[in-house]
Structure 1
Amino acid sequence: MPPILRESLEEEAGAALRADTDTSSLTLTLLGAVRLVSKSDELRLRNRKARAVLACLALADNQELTRERIAGLLWSESSEEKARASLRQVVHELREVLPEGALLAERLTLCLAPGLLRHDVEAVLAALAAGVVPPRLLDAPGLAERFLDGFDDLDPAFGSWLRTQRQSLQERLLAGLERLLDDGQAARSAARALLNLDPTHEAACRRVMLDAARDGDTAGALRAYETLWNLLGEDYDMEPSAPTQALVAEIKAGRIAPAPAPAPAESHTLPPKPPAQPGGTRMALFVEPFLEHGVADDRSHLVRGFRHDLIACLVRFREWFVVDGVVPGPAAPGMERASSRYAVSAVAYQSGAAISLVLTIREAGSGVVIWSERSDIDLATWFDAQRELVRSIATSLRGHVSAARLASLPLQRGVALAAHDRWLLGQSVMRGFRGDRYGRARQLFEEAIAEDPTFSPAYSSLAQSYNGGHIANPGSWRNRDTEARSLALARRAVALDQVDSRAQLVLGWALALAGQGDAAAPHMRRAVKLNPHDSWTLISAALYHAFSAQHEEAQRLAETALEMALIPSATFWGYQVVVAYLRGDDAATIAACDRAEDVIRTLPAWRAAALWNLGRQEEARAAASRFFELVRAAWVGEGAASEQAMGRWLLHQYPFADAASWERLRRGVAGAGIPAEGIAFGQWYEG
């Protein structure tokens, strides 16, 4: 790297770090040894768990956690009484060391004073968001693994939480650096930093090789390639991809031209990059100020906190823009991106030991109220009730707003619709795994993309149609072309909006179906983290984990999704069928089948397998006959819908990661009378 460019990068990164810490009086180091500094003086915390509590508070939303959550993380193997006593001792030490008023200790919660404490993780992420690669990412390999270094053995629950946090940080750092790979000036340092985080990152390695070759350092380029070759061979038993091998061939042949020298008068200062904004027209959802009647002054903050949490939850649903404020006129700036406008309003009033909230949502143009709900929250259980109520309201709003908008659309062909409305209509058309609807849905998604090429949901939904097309169309098969098309669309969706849980989820499924289950896992985890309030995200992720033989996680997500869903649909129960069967719970499989009502044509086969496993042979054969009946009626395969062909089609559909789970299904359906001879694990394609 040219020294002047390196100096510019370090100078701007340092400025970003200073800007992110100068406004607070305390700085906490989390990457490496945990240190607390006040200006230039270190404040020493003797107890490791005191440092851990401070770290957890610094990382939490609003820097606030319940005492119950902290005790569960750090004293998971102690009794509740002992855990609370130990936490009180830690709180006492923190109060002795921290400035007066820094730690707000309530009966149920612990909270840091607003704006008092900053930490180095947010500083590093802020620098990346500003288009600058912090020097720490260039100098230290495996920086994410140094997060809270030495705290792994503090408590089993804390160790599990720490592993999750490190993985999340790794993904955020990788995503931030990958965005800079296309930035002309920052790309060189971003590539080096990426290899520090992930030495097998091929795109970064290619950039390092290319930079070295253009600098005339052919040996350095070949060294980078050799390192990648060795790592991939040793760790994954694979070779670098075709683009990487093609580049090394170009370098060896001397066909990479040297880069032109920079003009001396050119400024080397890197302007900060504005944060990417999700494109596309969407519904606009305005959360108006809540009205209060008779709420005591010392309780008013609860209503404001509720509204803030509701906004934070609604933002995670990418169907709409969320605006904090009243509905403006149609000509207001930004309204050209709103396909429709809705307003959420609420009235809060106190009665004794409870606060009642009456929420309504109305269409802004007509004033028609499309949804209303009243909730009474007892003050003694406010925080627990608030979390559940916010999640319930967000899910409810999603369904009611989308349904109201869909009902208002002109559905005649040829009528001009906004990109968002075409997508919304396509989503409605595609529901139910019915292949005859998929063609129309794809047409709508493609029209939405043509209308607005920056609208991420249209790409992810089109990819979703390819992911599930072979299930919706009995007799069709998974194939490489479809997988490649789905992957390209899903990656485009993520590139356009990385915080859309749907885009991450669809990319995870596209990778899993393409046989890249390990690469799919981070996207599934990110989808759940981006929108833990969406029952569909959770049940879909549960299904992935079930096919990956991670049955405890699959069950946990499935149960959470079921608790969250207000009225689970038949398709929702269909997913529960598969999760239950693959974890070995045949009784739960049959119970879920009863609720799913054959919404997916393959469900009778899963019922048949579960019944056969339970020794109920006659019922199993009847369920197998029902499977043949449903599939034969919708068969689109080139050959006849023989029982052998239907059995092979069934067993080729799913992205099983291990042979044992697949074999359990094969053995069950074969026992029930669905032919499964001559079919082997891994034969996912026709021929």
Structure 2
Amino acid sequence: MVTAAGELRFRFRLLGDFRLIDEADGRDHSPRSRKACALLAHLALEPDRRASRDRLVGLLWSDRGEVQARASLRQALTDLRAHPAAPLIHIERRDLHLAEGGFSSDLGEILACAAANDLAGLARILDGAGSAILDGLEGLDRSFDDWLMIERQRWRERIVQDVLHAVERNGQNDLLDLRRAILTQLQRLDTGDERIARLGMALDQKAGDHVGLHRRYRQLETGLQRDLDARVSPDTERLLRELTTVGSVIAPAPRAAAVPAIATIPQANVEPPILVIAPFSLIGDGGPDGALLTSICHDDLQTALGGMRDLRILSVDAPSAERMKAAAPASIASYALDGSVRADGDGWRINLRMTRIDSGFLVWTRQLTVRQGELLAAIDDLVARIAGAILPVVERDVGKLMEGRVPSGSDAYPLYFTARAKILAAASLAEVQEGADLLERAILLEPRLTNAYLQLARLYNTDFMQLMAGHDAAPLRARAFDLCTRAVALEPTHGGVQSRLAWCYLRRGDMKQAMQGFMTALDLTPFHADGINEIGFGLVHLGEMKEAQRLIARAFELNPFPSDEYFSDLAVLYALSGEHEAAETQFEIGRNRSIHYLAVRGANLGMLGGAKRAAPVIDELRQRFASLWQGDTPARDTDLVDTMIQFLPLQGPAERSLFLTGLEQAGLRITPR
């Protein structure tokens, strides 16, 4: 260390836990006393880096008598006089101050870089920063806590404002990734600031990173709920809808056959939810291109949505209320989708809405804009946006309709939806079994109810949603395979059927048949976000990581509000690809506590930081597994690992080896049988 006082320089780290670093050699010279740290931190944050003794006594020893408080201050100052930075800490009779030019700080460097438009510098400083100013100095004194709360808010607002302005000012395309990285780091500092999230989401969309866009939104949502008990604003939700689900990257399914006139449609014994698509209307003079846009959107929507067997798609030429009600008398729920196209400058504004036919209740609406020069390229985009949003809306609405209903013992489709609701809300194996029994009854009542076969096959193929272990899985697997083959016989062009059958092959270890099934399912479900995510996760188990990542990213594109499962599936992909920090980020966002995700997260943490870092997750994993165990002897770590491989049928040798190595490094005792 340089001894001349004029050459001494120290750096305060104020973002995160307090540190005082010698700039000459990088050594940490933070005082051992927390109150001495707090005293220096207070000086570092004061505008003139000066404070009176009276101020310091009231700030750090307000709960003591004056004599005792001043004695404590003197002791703290005695310690500072022996500190390596003592020549730069001027202790005078009435006050203390820091030598000008003797100290820098990370907060000052952030503001300087922002003012100079130095994005690289901002990224470097923020990357090593903590999430809270002076983290860990709370609880020293009530007066200090009050001061700290105000300072955190003041500095956080100033940093956010200056950094946002710098990111907005530097809009060059070659700086896009750097700007996004800065906003990601800034969001750690203030997870509930919607300005950060909105700008970051817009840049994510510009970069084509829909996974990052959804991750940023989910972090905002979590931060607002945790810190402020608040919801995301309507403006930010609206921006999310505008930015998500971009153009088609998968060829659509073959055009569906023409739908017969409504009057001639025979009444089926079982009706899934029905969506009636009315012709789009052209408002004003949109010219020939406007008329073409209305026609193509209407026709292509029929084709895209017709590939979703979870919905029955009908088209009507004269969309009167009576005609629409006559189209779907037996369905559990029926909806009408219509749209209008209006000329808007050099393009068109498209307004879409979906209403429940029986009540006219509006369940979904969206407004999109298409520019003149982008017409043909935009049509796939429009279809993808609409198709990707429709099914989640229908599923949520049908779930609400079924709440509290007691289904008739002779009514198969309500039995099916009631079973689904029960399974989704189940907290025990017995409750899942009740849902499975309802599905079995539904199949007996209506042997053509394909979706019931699929739900049952999933339950049996995943050990009733992974709620039991230590049992003979062969009968369950055989039952799942039988259900899937019967479903294929009913609807061979149903993408969900092909995907579920592929999962059965996957658990049997038949990689060729599994891959063929997933690819067939993908061809049949080009716009079904949940289906595409399921296929992508299947490819993770086959070791096809690059294609798996592309498909999971596609699911994020198509679904404006992806479920926790999307994030957790992506976390598994990252973990098994060796991207352990990225995986941990996704696990944090996903919040899915299913046991197989817990096992992969434990292995991932083992790879990141060994048994110590993984210990809390591994402890929970052991406890959860013990509650599922049905074996005759107490469960061992070897039993746990064997079961996790059964739950996660990893066929790629590299991924399986990485998973097992991670579990060992996480502290599981894996012994040969």
TM bucket, shorter chain: 0.5 to 0.7
Letter in 1 for 2:303: A
- State the partner residue of 2:281: 291
Change (3 A) 1:417 1:291: farther
Q: In structure 1, which of residues 387, 397, 400 is the aligned counterpart of residue 393 of structure 2? A: 400
1:608 Cα shift? 2.2
Change (3 A) 1:332 1:604: closer
- State the partner residue of 2:348: 355
Change (3 A) 1:278 1:626: farther
Query: CA deviation digits over 1:333-360, x for unaligned, max 9?
Result: 8745533321111121111112111111
Change (3 A) 1:647 1:277: farther
1:322 aligns with 2:313: yes
Residues 463 and 473 in structure 2, CA contact (< 8 A), matched pair in contact too: no
- State the partner residue of 1:390: 383
Structure 2 distance, partners of 1:557, 1:449, is 32
Structure 2 distance, partners of 1:277, 1:507, is 29
1:438 Cα shift? 2.1
Structure 1 distance, partners of 2:373, 2:594, is 45
Letter in 2 for 1:382: L
Residues 607 and 623 in structure 1, CA contact (< 8 A), matched pair in contact too: yes
1:480 aligns with 2:471: no
Q: Which moved more, 1:658-667 or 1:357-366?
A: 658-667
1:517 Cα shift? 2.1
Change (3 A) 1:648 1:522: closer
Structure 2 distance, partners of 1:288, 1:415, is 33
1:509 Cα shift? 0.5
1:623 Cα shift? 2.3
1:572 aligns with 2:566: yes
1:279 Cα shift? 7.7
1:441 aligns with 2:435: yes
Letter in 1 for 2:276: F
Q: How does 1:231-246 map to 2 (within 5 A)?
A: none
Residues 470 and 653 in structure 1, CA contact (< 8 A), matched pair in contact too: no
Structure 2 distance, partners of 1:429, 1:379, is 48
Query: CA deviation digits over 1:109-154, x for unaligned, max 9?
Result: xxxxxxxxxxxxxxxxxxxxxxxxxxxxxxxxxxxxxxxxxxxxxx
1:328 Cα shift? 7.0
- State the partner residue of 1:673: 667
Q: Over aligned residues, Cα RMSD in angstroms?
A: 3.0
Letter in 2 for 1:296: G
State the aligned residue count: 409
Change (3 A) 1:520 1:644: closer
Q: How does 1:297-336 map to 2 (within 5 A)?
A: 297-299=287-289, 300-325=291-316, 326=319, 329=322, 335=328
Q: In structure 1, which of residues 373, 378, 381 is the aligned counterpart of residue 371 of structure 2? A: 378
Gaps of 5+ in 1: 1-160, 170-275, 680-687
Secondary structure of residue in 2 paired with 1:431: helix
Q: In structure 2, which of residues 359, 366, 372 is the aligned counterpart of residue 366 of structure 1? A: 359
Structure 2 distance, partners of 1:661, 1:292, is 54
Structure 2 distance, partners of 1:376, 1:478, is 56
Structure 2 distance, partners of 1:475, 1:656, is 18
Change (3 A) 1:468 1:637: same
Query: CA deviation digits over 1:628-650, x for unaligned, max 9?
Result: 23333454555434444333322
1:417 Cα shift? 7.0
Change (3 A) 1:387 1:417: farther
Structure 1-normalised TM-score? Answer: 0.55
Structure 2 distance, partners of 1:433, 1:510, is 23
Secondary structure of residue in 2 paired with 1:602: helix
Secondary structure of residue in 2 paired with 1:339: coil
Structure 1 distance, partners of 2:267, 2:521, is 19
Change (3 A) 1:279 1:671: farther
Structure 2 distance, partners of 1:667, 1:442, is 36
Q: Which moved more, 1:652-661 or 1:515-524?
A: 652-661
Q: In structure 1, which of residues 411, 414, 418 is the aligned counterpart of residue 404 of structure 2? A: 411
- State the partner residue of 2:55: none
Q: In structure 2, which of residues 501, 512, 522 is the aligned counterpart of residue 507 of structure 1? A: 501
- Percent identity between matched residues is 19
Change (3 A) 1:535 1:433: farther
Higher RCO (CA-CA < 8 Å; seq separation 6+): 2
Structure 1 distance, partners of 2:629, 2:474, is 21
Change (3 A) 1:512 1:592: same
Query: CA deviation digits over 1:46-90, x for unaligned, max 9?
Result: xxxxxxxxxxxxxxxxxxxxxxxxxxxxxxxxxxxxxxxxxxxxx
Structure 2 distance, partners of 1:277, 1:467, is 34
Query: CA deviation digits over 1:196-216, x for unaligned, max 9?
Result: xxxxxxxxxxxxxxxxxxxxx
Letter in 1 for 2:336: A
Letter in 2 for 1:667: T
Residues 542 and 579 in structure 1, CA contact (< 8 A), matched pair in contact too: no
Residues 474 and 649 in structure 1, CA contact (< 8 A), matched pair in contact too: no
Q: How does 1:162-561 map to 2 (within 5 A)?
A: 280-299=270-289, 300-325=291-316, 326=319, 329=322, 335=328, 337-409=330-402, 411-413=404-406, 415-416=408-409, 418-431=411-424, 435-436=428-429, 437-469=431-463, 472-477=466-471, 479-561=473-555
Structure 2 distance, partners of 1:586, 1:278, is 51
Change (3 A) 1:347 1:595: same
Residues 612 and 668 in structure 1, CA contact (< 8 A), matched pair in contact too: yes
Structure 2-normalised TM-score? Answer: 0.56
- State the partner residue of 2:623: 629
Letter in 2 for 1:628: R
Structure 2 distance, partners of 1:530, 1:278, is 23
Q: In structure 1, which of residues 663, 667, 676 is the aligned counterpart of residue 657 of structure 2? A: 663
Letter in 1 for 2:307: R
1:488 Cα shift? 0.8
Secondary structure of residue in 2 paired with 1:282: coil
Secondary structure of residue in 1 paired with 2:595: coil
1:508 Cα shift? 0.6
Letter in 2 for 1:458: A
Secondary structure of residue in 1 paired with 2:670: coil
Change (3 A) 1:301 1:418: farther
Residues 335 and 357 in structure 2, CA contact (< 8 A), matched pair in contact too: yes
Letter in 2 for 1:311: Q
Residues 531 and 537 in structure 1, CA contact (< 8 A), matched pair in contact too: yes
